[in-house]
Every structure is written in structure tokens, then in C-alpha cells.
Amino acid sequence: MAMQTIEELFEHELKDMYSAEHMLLGALEQMADESSDREIKKTFVQHRKETQGQIKRLEKIFKTLGQKPEAETCHGIEGLLKEKKTFLKERPSDELVEFFNIGAGQKTERYEIASYEGLIDMADKLGMTDAVELLEQNLQEEEAALNKLKMIASEFDVTEEGEEEGEGRTTSSRR
């Protein structure tokens, strides 16, 4: 039967985020592996841990709906992961991959923030107070992750090729 209610849309979006968070578990692990800078690595590792908690919260919401957790492929995050693959084909330096990840991380956080804001709005309209609370916790973690990545990006040093690498984050891959 055709989808007609906000409740059905809410469930659809919930499954979409359940899929997104699972994909991001893998992506965050990969980005942590690709980070040579300790703070950047720590940021990805920590957000991966938070993501596991976010998945648990989504599972709780499925439970309140009397449903088994189910994923429906999130094409938004899938698209961002494809962009990474395309970028890697350019054979970028390790430093550029690290810098790329900080930008890609911000894109995914913004996507998640918009998704959770939409879900919260729907849950609010449906009077699902428990779901609103759980989703707000996820939203807060995404916002904190975005802010952290923004700070890291602004501190990321870019040096000219051949320049001595000082301590901290540098990239020597400018052409």
C-alpha cells in the first residue's frame, strides 16, 4: 500500500539512519586508520564509539514502535563514500587523504544533523517523547563531532613541497 502517514515516513527515515550509522562505523574506522595525527585519529575513534551508542538508541526507538531494527540503504551516505573512492583513484598523498577525511567527516556530520533534526521534528509531531529524547542525544553528538572537525580543519597546516615538516599536521603535497 502507498505510504500516507508521517508515522510511516518517520519509520522510513529511521531505517535510513540505521543504515547510515552502520556504514559510518566502517568509514570512521578507515579514517582513523588513515590518520597519522594523534588528535585526528582520536576524534574518529571516539566518534566511532559514539556511533555504536547511536545505533543502540535507534534500536530502542524501533522497540518503542514494536518493530525489529531494520536498515534501508542510505543513498546520501553511500554517495559520500563513493566520493571518497573517486578521490582515492587520484592517488593522493597520505597527508591529503587525512585532510580530505576531515572535510568528508564534516559533510557526513551535516548530513546526519539534518536527518536527526527532521526525525526529531516528526517524532515531536507524533508525540513520541521518548524517541525525541533519544534522537536529541544523537543530534548533540553529531553537532559536537562537527565542531571538533571544524576546529581540526582550521588548525591543519599546509606546507609547500620540500619544506621541512615541523611537528603537528602538515601536508607536503601541494603542486
Q: Interface with Fe ion includes 16 (CB under 5 A)?
A: no
Instruction: List the grid coordinates of 121.
Output: 521534528
Q: How far is the CB of 51 from Fe ion (least distance, A)?
A: 5
Candidate ranges 4-12, 31-39, 112-120, 166-174; the one touching Fe ion (CB under 5 A): 112-120
| Angle (deg, nearest 10), helices 6-33 and 75-88 | 20
Residue closer to Fe ion, measured from CB, 46 or 159: 46
Q: How far is the CB of 59 from Fe ion (least distance, A)?
A: 14
Would you say 76 and 111 are in contact if contact means Cβ atoms under 8 Å apart? yes
Q: Interface with Fe ion includes 13 (CB under 5 A)?
A: no
Q: Interface with Fe ion includes 142 (CB under 5 A)?
A: yes
Would you say 68 and 77 are in contact if contact means Cβ atoms under 8 Å apart? no
What CA–CA distances, in Å, run from 63 to 11, 56, 60, 102, 140? Answer: 12, 11, 5, 34, 22
Options 19, 54, 106, 115; binder of Fe ion; rule CB under 5 A? 54
Residue 35 sits at the vertex; the CA angle it makes with 107 and 43, to the nearest 5 degrees, is 60
Residue closer to Fe ion, measured from CB, 70 or 94: 70
Q: How far is the CB of 169 from Fe ion (least distance, A)?
A: 21
Q: How far is the CB of 28 from Fe ion (least distance, A)?
A: 8
Instruction: List the grid coordinates of 165.
Output: 615538516
The upper half-sphere exposure of residue 95, i.e. CA atoms within 13 Å in the direction of its Cβ, equals: 14
Residue closer to Fe ion, measured from CB, 25 or 158: 25
Give contact residues for Fe ion (rule: CB under 5 A).
21, 51, 54, 109, 112, 142, 145
